[in-house]
């Protein structure tokens, strides 16, 4: 019974957390023209994306680089050769994938 | 004799028509303030009467033009825009005068977040009244939908601080803002409101003679509201397009070159239809 209570409480907390997370993830990247790419992220309610996981993958989906958004909600990486994608991963339903071909100066 | 009387009458008529004329407005214009992605931004700064494409005045040069950009919790970044300011000639149907343009390159407006543009003109001398005017103007834009510093006071001598996202206004929304002088709310300040009825032509540097709205009465050209005891204004926006708000004589400076000065605060917002 106690266990059930705890489970219910946990679910309630998760549900609340999900509500607090009811905003749109936003991410944009641009080519710095020096072999590096800068990405910026955030949420439509203005909350920070600091700590959000970032992945750079090649054309076959293999992870080439990974990291996280810094305190300014920014992530910089070395531009890979060939086609690539960038994934801003703030959890289920809060991910943004950007095609490297759309990342311009 | 008859001719003299007629001329006098004509003069009186012209003067009478001139009196209910629209308000002076420091126009800081760029076609779009809610952008999906950063890019070049083309600006025109004109001291005129946008509700009637009226008289265009010499604003006395540009003292400052800069932008404060911010996203989320990041710190606001200040970028001086004076290197991009160029003198142009602006032409309205009945007058033309010196104005300014600024083509901002993509590198200035590349990041996501808010951009609070601040334009501080020089001083315009209104001969008929023997007073100087200076309208310190704000325009707030956004890239990518992440909000930033739109609701933060800039710390100007006088300014209008919005309480509703100024680049995310629907037609029919209520525009609410607070009028500050030296950072303190101004109670009972007169705020003039005008609709940009004659859309600026960016290639001709001109306003067309034809507007989109007909005024049923002179009193409708410039709408007037007053701030409440806490310095707040509220204004329902009835039509999509650009709306300018000018809080008159609220600035701390009241004299320039030994003459009376009206230091005003202006803000522009854009409303869009819900479709």
- Contact criterion met (CB < 8 Å) for A46 and B146: yes
Question: What SS3 state is found at B263?
Answer: strand
Chain B residues closer than 8 Å to A46 by CB: 72, 146-148
Q: Are B104 and B41 in contact (CB under 8 A)?
A: yes
Q: Is the dihedral of CA B249, B27, B66, A24 positive or negative?
A: positive
User: Which stretches of chain A are assigned E, i.e. beta strand?
Assistant: 25-31, 36-43, 53-58, 63-68, 74-78, 84-89, 95-99
The predicted pLDDT at position A2 comes to 56
Measured CA to CA, the distance from residue B131 to residue B135 in angstroms comes to 13
Contact A28 B73 (CB under 8 A): no
Q: What is the pLDDT along chain B (275 residues), one digit of tens a residue?
A: 455 555 555 544 444 444 444 589 999 999 999 999 999 999 999 999 999 999 999 999 999 999 999 998 888 999 999 999 999 999 999 899 999 999 999 999 999 999 999 999 999 999 988 999 999 999 999 999 999 999 999 999 999 999 999 999 999 999 999 999 999 999 999 999 999 999 999 999 999 999 999 999 999 999 999 999 999 999 999 999 999 999 999 999 999 999 999 999 999 999 999 99
Helix (H) / strand (E) element for B13: namely helix B2-18
Residue B144 to residue A49, Cβ atoms within 8 A: no
Q: Report how far residue B23's alpha carbon sits from residue B158's, in angstroms, rounded to the nearest whole number.
A: 18
Residues of B in contact with A28 (CB under 8 A): 37-38, 112, 144
Contacts of A5 (CB under 8 A, 6+ apart): none
Q: Delineate the domains of chain A, giving CATH numbers in brackets.
A: 23-99 (2.60.40.1930)
On whether any CB of chain B is under 8 Å from the CB of A47, the answer is: yes
Find chain A residues with C-beta within 8 A of B112's C-beta: 26, 28, 40, 42
Structural domains of chain B, ranges and CATH numbers in brackets: 2-272 (2.60.40.1930)
- Under a CB-based contact definition with an 8 Å cutoff, are residues B37 and B87 in contact? no
- From B26, B3, B4, select the one nearest B268 (Cα to Cα): B26
Residue B264 Rama label (left phi>0; alpha psi -120 to 50; beta): beta
Q: State whether residue A25 sits within 8 Å of chain B by CB.
A: no
Express each pLDDT in B207-253 by its tens digit: 999 999 999 999 999 999 999 999 999 999 999 999 999 999 999 99
A90, pLDDT greater than 60:
yes
Q: To the nearest whole number, what is the mean pLDDT of chain B?
A: 92
């Amino acid at each position: 019974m106690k266990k059930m209570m705890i489970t219910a409480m946990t679910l309630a907390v998760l549900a609340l957390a999900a509500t607090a997370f009811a905003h749109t993830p936003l991410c944009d990247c641009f080519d710095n023209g020096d072999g590096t790419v800068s990405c910026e992220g955030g949420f439509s309610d203005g909350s920070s994306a600091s700590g959000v996981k970032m992945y750079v993958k090649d054309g076959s989906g293999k992870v080439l680089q990974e990291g996280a958004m810094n305190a300014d909600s920014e992530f910089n990486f070395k531009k890979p050769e060939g086609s690539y994608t960038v994934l801003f991963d703030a959890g289920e339903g809060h991910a943004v994938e950007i095609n490297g071909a759309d990342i311009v100066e | 004799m008859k001719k003299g009387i007629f001329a006098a009458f004509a003069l009186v008529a012209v003067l009478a028509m001139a009196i209910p004329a629209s308000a002076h407005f420091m126009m800081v214009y760029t076609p779009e303030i809610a952008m999906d992605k950063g890019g070049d931004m083309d600006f025109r700064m004109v001291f005129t009467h946008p509700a009637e494409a009226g008289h265009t005045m010499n604003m006395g040069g540009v003292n400052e033009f800069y932008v404060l950009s911010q996203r989320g919790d990041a710190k606001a970044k200040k970028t001086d825009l004076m290197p991009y300011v160029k003198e142009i000639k602006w032409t309205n149907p009945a007058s033309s005068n010196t104005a300014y343009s600024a083509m901002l390159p993509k590198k200035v407006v590349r990041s996501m977040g808010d951009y609070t543009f601040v334009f501080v003109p020089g001083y315009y001398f209104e001969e008929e009244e023997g007073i100087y005017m200076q309208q310190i103007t704000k325009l707030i834009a956004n890239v990518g939908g992440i909000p930033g510093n739109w609701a933060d006071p800039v710390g100007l001598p006088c300014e209008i601080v919005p309480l509703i996202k100024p680049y995310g206004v629907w037609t029919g929304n209520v525009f609410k803002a607070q009028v500050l002088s030296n950072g303190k709310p101004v109670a009972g300040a007169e705020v003039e409101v005008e609709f940009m009825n004659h859309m600026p032509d960016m290639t001709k540097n001109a306003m067309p003679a034809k507007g989109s709205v007909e005024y049923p009465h002179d009193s409708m050209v410039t709408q007037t509201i007053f701030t409440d005891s806490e310095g707040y204004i509220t204004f329902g926006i009835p039509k999509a397009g650009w709306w300018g708000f000018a809080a008159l004589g609220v600035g701390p400076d009241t004299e320039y070159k030994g003459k009376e000065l009206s230091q005003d605060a202006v803000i522009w917002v854009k409303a869009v239809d819900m479709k």
